[in-house]
Amino acid sequence: MQGSTVNSEQTIAVAQNGYSDGHGASHLEDHPDHRIFGLYMFFVAESFIFLGLFAAYLTFRAVTPEWPPEGTPELELLLPGINSLILISSSFVIHKAEDAIKENDVKGVQLWFAITAAMGALFLVGQGYEYAHLEFGLTTNLFASTFYVLTGFHGLHVAFGLLLMGSVLWRSRQEGHYSAESRFGIEAAELYWHFVDVIWILLFILLYLL
């Protein structure tokens, strides 16, 4: 008796060599080679939340006779402009961290991440300051509501980015946690930060410039 009812002859021939290309990943570990790919999928999903909100904003704008509705105070451009510059330049700063880790320079990563995080925090402070000095509130009118929801939702993403950077900084204290070969956390935080940046640019054009 063969003992096995597995009829491998019928449809497969088992390869003699073992798993060399990562097919052997265990149930316990996320597949290392595909995490960046998965991250891009996640960005697709995230983009569609924002695209949905943008589309809603544009529709409101199109169907409302006067936009922004009568009596909405003008938006100040200076502060958000500076804020945008801070956020955009921070994307270049965080990129330095990737260059650094490719050289196995963990100290460099810590430096660039700390600067980026500080710039992100500054952005949030700036946004808080702007909120505090705006002459309309969340419920003033349709423009005000969408303004706060959109910028607030983006702000939440910035805050989450700070958490990500914090956790990279925390882990990097451990010797050898990150290296040129093992740098997913750093790359992920960086890509996420670029993503948040791009969203801000679109948001800024939509809310302040259009």
Partner 1 sequence: MAQTQVRPLVEDELPQEPKGEWKKYFTFNTDHKVIGIQYLVTSFIFFLIGGALATGVRLELATPEVDFVSRELYNQLFTIHATVMIFLWIVPAGTGAFGNYLLPLLLGCNDMAFPRLNAIAFWMIPPGGVLLMSSFFINEGAAASGWTSYPPLSLMNGKSGELIWILSVLVLGTSSILGAINFLTTIIKMRTPGMKFNNMPLFCWAMFAASILILVSTPVLAGALILLSFDLLAGTSVFNPSGGGDPVVYQHMFWFYSHPAVYIMILPVFGTISEILPVHSRKPIFGYLAIAYSSLAISFLGLIVWAHHMFTSGTPAWLRMFFMIATMVIAVPTGIKVFSWLATIWGGKLRLNSAMLFAMGFVSMFVIGGLSGVMVASVPFDIHVHDTYFVVAHLHYVLFGGSVFGLYASIYHWFPKMTGRMINETWGRIHFVLTLVGFNLCFLPMHYLGLMGMPRRVAEYDPQFATINTICSIGSYILAVSTIPFLVNAVVCWRSGEKAPANPWDGLTLEWTLSSPPPEHNFPTPPVLKTGPYDYGVRERRGSKKRPISKLRASDILSN
Output the smallest distance, CB 12 to partner 1, in A.
4
**Nearest alpha carbon to residue 197 among 131, 116, 125, 135:** 116
- Is there binding between residue 8 and partner 1 (CB under 8 A)? yes
User: Nearest distance from residue 100's CB to partner 1, in Å?
Assistant: 27
Q: Is 92 in the site for partner 1 (CB under 8 A)?
A: no
C-alpha to C-alpha distance for 129 and 154, rounded to whole angstroms: 16
Does 13 bind partner 1 (CB under 8 A)? Our answer is yes
Q: Which two tokens stand for residue 195?
A: 């993503």
The three-point CA angle 206-207-210 to 5° equals 55
> For partner 1, which is the closer residue by CB, 41 or 77?
41
- Taking alpha carbons only, the member of 150, 149, 147, 144 closest to residue 70 is 144
Q: Look-up: residue for tokens 């706060």?
A: 148
Q: Is 78 in the site for partner 1 (CB under 8 A)?
A: no
Residues 146-175 that bind partner 1 (CB under 8 A): 146, 149, 153
Backbone angles phi, psi at 204, to 5 degrees: -65, -45
Q: Mask of contacts with partner 1, 129-148, x by CB under 8 A?
A: ---------xx-xx--xx--
Nearer to partner 1, 139 or 174 (CB): 139
67 in Cβ contact with 143 (< 8 Å)? yes
Q: How far is the CB of 41 from partner 1 (least distance, A)?
A: 4
CA distance 31 to 25: 6
Query: What 3-state DSSP class applies to 66?
Result: coil
79 vs 206, beta carbon nearer partner 1: 206
Q: What's the angle, vertex CA 120, arms to CA 186 and CA 162, rounded to 5?
A: 50
Question: To the nearest whole angstrom, how small is the minimum distance from the Cβ of residue 205 to partner 1?
Answer: 19
Angle between helices 184-204 and 106-133 (to 10 degrees): 30
Instruction: Answer yes or no whether residue 16 interacts with partner 1 by CB under 8 A.
Output: yes
> Whole-number minimum distance, CB 86 to partner 1, in Å?
26
Binding site for partner 1 (CB under 8 A): 3-8, 10-19, 21, 23-31, 33-35, 37-38, 41-42, 44-53, 55-56, 59-60, 63-64, 69, 138-139, 141-142, 145-146, 149, 153
